[in-house]
């Protein structure tokens, strides 16, 4: 038999042209042929090995686990408590020697002074009686200052819309009464007219960089519904800026409609 060039063993050639031992390909026809493939030979070898191992290895029975040893029960013994030892008495140290305390000397007796002897020429001093002290409760109350209540000015007589004319003088209270009664009729009647309005300054608003110059006028009544807004030109800016709230002024201006206020334009102070 020829030897395998790979494993060097005497071998035969399988159906698939390989060594029967190592599977090395054998191309030469000098090797004798066997009617099995290399894979079939490997399966036969593995089956033979398994059967031999099964015969040779004895079956091992599992060893029984040892039973756990019982734990000993604890034995309780009575231990007597130790007797308390007497504490040693502290050594007494001799204290400092006692010094004698000096007794306080008795205070000298106060001798009474002799009474002053008055001669016929000297007269005894007479002390005048003190002035009586007046308590705050017994003092008469200070008189309270009288508060003068200024009477309210009498209401101005109402004006009818038929009496409105160009250039007439009218107060803020009268304008408020007309607009409360008929604001649309008053607006139509005042349209295009110049009026002389009298009222009290409630607000002064001057902003030259925004070209805004106007004052808000109200009347003497406490329940004013409509206030007046009077807008001024640039030449009257200095006069308007000198006004203070509460001043009573007279303004000549042209009626310019109404929104939140009754408005007048091109106004000037009289």
What's the CATH code of the domain at 204?
2.40.50.140
Instruction: Take residue 51 and report the two structure tokens written for it.
Output: 């059967």
In a domain, 261, yes or no: yes
Residue 100: per-residue pLDDT: 65
Instruction: Answer with the one of 40, 57, 74 that is the final residue of a domain.
Output: 57
In a domain, 242, yes or no: yes
pLDDT tens digit string along 185-236?
999 999 999 999 999 999 999 998 888 999 999 998 777 889 999 999 999 9
Output Rg (C-alpha) for the chain, integer angstroms. Answer: 69
Strand pairing class (248-258; 228-232): unpaired
- Number of domains present in the structure of the chain: 2
Query: With pLDDT > 90 as the criterion, what percentage of the chain qualifies?
Result: 33
How far, in Å, CA of 201 to CA of 196, rounded?
15
In a domain, 134, yes or no: no
Which among 228, 233, 221, 234 has a CA at the least distance from the CA of 250? 228
- Are the CB atoms for 20 and 11 separated by under 8 Å? yes
Instruction: Answer with the one of 57, 76, 95 that is the final residue of a domain.
Output: 57
In a domain, 171, yes or no: yes
Backbone angles phi, psi at 178, to 5 degrees: -65, -40
**pLDDT at 169 > cutoff 90:** yes
**pLDDT at 40 > cutoff 90:** no
Provide mean pLDDT across the span 72-84: 64
pLDDT band at 135 (very low <50, low <70, confident <90, very high): low
Helix 172-181 to helix 183-190 angle, to the nearest 10 degrees?
A: 120
Q: Which residues form the domain of 8? A: 1-57
In a domain, 143, yes or no: no
In a domain, 44, yes or no: yes
């Amino acid at each position: 038999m020829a030897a395998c060039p790979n494993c060097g063993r005497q071998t035969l050639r399988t159906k698939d042209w390989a060594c029967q031992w190592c599977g090395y390909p054998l191309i030469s026809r000098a090797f004798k042929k066997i009617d099995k493939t290399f894979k079939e030979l490997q399966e036969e070898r593995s089956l033979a090995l398994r059967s031999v191992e099964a015969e040779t290895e004895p079956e091992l029975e599992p060893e029984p686990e040892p039973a756990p040893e019982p734990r000993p029960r604890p034995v309780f013994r009575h231990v007597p408590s130790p007797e308390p030892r007497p504490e040693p008495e502290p050594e007494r140290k001799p204290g400092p020697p006692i010094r004698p305390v000096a007794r306080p000397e008795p205070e000298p007796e106060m001798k009474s002074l002799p009474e002053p002897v008055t001669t016929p020429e000297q007269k005894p001093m007479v002390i005048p009686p003190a002035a009586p002290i007046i308590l705050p409760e017994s003092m008469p109350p200070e008189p309270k200052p009288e508060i003068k209540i200024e009477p309210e000015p009498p209401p101005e007589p109402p004006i009818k819309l038929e009496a409105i004319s160009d250039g007439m003088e009218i107060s803020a209270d009268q304008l408020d009464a007309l607009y409360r009664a008929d604001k649309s009729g008053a607006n139509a009647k005042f349209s295009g007219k110049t009026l002389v309005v009298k009222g009290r300054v409630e607000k002064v608003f001057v902003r030259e960089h925004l070209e805004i110059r106007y004052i808000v006028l109200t009347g003497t009544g406490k329940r004013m519904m409509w206030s007046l807004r009077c807008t001024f030109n640039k030449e009257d800016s200095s006069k308007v800026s000198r006004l203070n709230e509460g001043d009573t002024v007279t303004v000549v201006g042209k009626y310019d409609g109404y929104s939140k206020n009754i408005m007048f334009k091109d106004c000037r102070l009289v």
